[in-house]
Structure 1
Amino acid sequence: MSEHWDIYLTQSNNNNVFVRLDLGIKDSVPISGADKLVQVSIQTKSLFSKKMNFELLHIIEDEIGSALTESDFYIGVITEADMRTFYIYTIQEKKLLNTVESILSKHKKQTSDISIVDDPEWSFYLETLYPDVYKYQWIQDRHVVEQLIANNDNQKVPREITHWLYFSDIASRESYKNKLDREVYKIIDETTFEEETDYPYQLSISHKGTTELETIYQYTTELIKKSLEVGGNYDGWETQVIQSK
């Protein structure tokens, strides 16, 4: 449906779960008539086992994707420890069902299951599959970290990391500042924008730390939580590249 696919990590029953989805359609759904959500589940080995046949799973996914019509809307995949599930909204339920069953019949060694649920509001996509503010930030953090790695960044070296936040009024910005641990965070700048915007009061702060994803995500999670408490908006971070020798 769009080219804006991405992946994030979450947990279910204390197990890691990878969610891959089309992020680019959020403002375009639900689609009229595409009331049925088809879920195609394929039993696999352990997610972290070398025996898991990723190549075969990719083949099955490609075959399903290639067989979809303009009446079908492929929106995401969930990979658990022993299961990979593909999610497709459709206007033509029976036609899609026959297509998927035909594809799966060629891969009989893989235990599979197809289920169909009514979801005219696309609640599964909007409320379950689409990442909340914290998981969405994990995606953004990962992108920045990947860019740093591409520039040969030594992730283990602590350095100043700058964060930006925006607020609807001065009182909210002051309340946020009061929530910060000043032994960890330093106020860099405060700016007020003249143009009309919902969040004209900017705050930039920094902390000293590494750029390892798990570490940086702990900071961004904390900063987002505090911003939500005062109605603010966290808007990301940046830092200098410290190249490995």
Structure 2
Amino acid sequence: MQMSDNWNFYALLVDDEPASIFVDLGVTKETHIADFPIMAYSRVRMNNPRPDGLSSQDEYDSLISLEKDVAEAAERAGKHLYVGRNTSSGNRDFYFYTQNHSIEDFLTKAMKKWPLYEYQTGHRPDEQWSTYWRFLYPSPEDFQRIGNRDVVDRLLEQGDRIEEPRTIDHFAVFGSQEDRNIFAEHLVAKGYAIVRKTDAASGEFQITFDMTDRPDQIDEVTIDLFRAARDIGGEYDGWGCTIVN
């Protein structure tokens, strides 16, 4: 089985510790999950983690090569799917879904190439892919942060000075004029300027608004807007700005 091309990563807290998850977002669109009812994992203890428990630059190349070996071991077996990893508390945990627990034999064989690393493997039934959906898969707020990072990366690629304040445009959409008006009142109280309101033929009631902010501090701004729009029954729909070189 092949992994999808839709992988992404995001930061979060796991057991109140900094963590980073790298996950295959497209695997369930290309796979009949009922065919892989067992979740298996391989936990590798990092040799040189950062003080906060995340991976260090010094160990980056080794960990990437190790990950490639365990993922290829699962792929060669043909009955196992590598779906993601979590890095936290000095460990890197690799997660798989499989048809049978023989995957542990393949993982053990792959780890023989890495004798300096301590590791353990395990498995359990997980027909609903709860580990994938409840742990690895991003929450809606995590998706917002992922989207923010993508926009900031595009700005950086064009030489933007993301620490420089500038007008940032925001967008949201609601199912009724009443909800949109309630949100507009929230925006004005927060100091935003309402740019325009648009009524779509599809029944969507859109609002565009702006404020001066810094792209390198956009997460806090957009998460507040995301939650406010959600609580009123709408959806925050992203942001954009001009480039400052």
Q: TM-score normalized by structure 1?
A: 0.90
Q: How many aligned residue pairs are there? A: 237
Percent identity (aligned)? 23
Partner residue in 1 for 2:131: 124
Of the three residues 74, 77, 81, the one matched with 1:73 is 81
> What is the alpha-carbon distance in structure 2 between the residues aligned to residue 205 and residue 26 of structure 1?
36
Superposed counterparts of 1:123-202, under 5 Å: 123-182=130-189, 184-194=191-201, 196=202, 200-202=204-206
- Structure 1 residues 99 and 130: alpha-carbon distance in aligned structure 2, compared to 1, 3 A threshold: same
> What is the alpha-carbon distance in structure 2 between the residues aligned to residue 241 and residue 89 of structure 1?
43
Bigger mean CA deviation after superposition, 183-192 or 216-225: 183-192
> What is the alpha-carbon distance in structure 1 between the residues aligned to residue 174 and residue 205 of structure 2?
5
Partner residue in 1 for 2:42: 40
Q: Deviations over 1:165-195 (max 9, x none)?
A: 111111111111122244521111110111x
- Structure 1 residues 170 and 29: alpha-carbon distance in aligned structure 2, compared to 1, 3 A threshold: farther
Bigger mean CA deviation after superposition, 137-146 or 8-17: 8-17
CA contact (8 A) 2:45 2:117 kept: yes
> What is the alpha-carbon distance in structure 2 between the residues aligned to residue 142 and residue 35 of structure 1?
33
Secondary structure in structure 2 of the residue aligned to 1:157: coil
Runs of at least 4 residues off by over 4 Å:
26-30, 48-52
Secondary structure in structure 1 of the residue aligned to 2:141: helix
Secondary structure in structure 2 of the residue aligned to 1:236: strand
Secondary structure in structure 1 of the residue aligned to 2:70: helix
Which has the larger share of helix? 2
The CA deviation at 1:70 is 3.4
> What is the alpha-carbon distance in structure 2 between the residues aligned to residue 32 and residue 81 of structure 1?
32
Q: Deviations over 1:188-219 (max 9, x none)?
A: 1110111x36xx1111111101111xx11111
Q: TM-score normalized by structure 2?
A: 0.90
Provide the aligned C-alpha RMSD in A: 1.8
CA contact (8 A) 1:26 1:126 kept: no
CA contact (8 A) 2:43 2:91 kept: yes
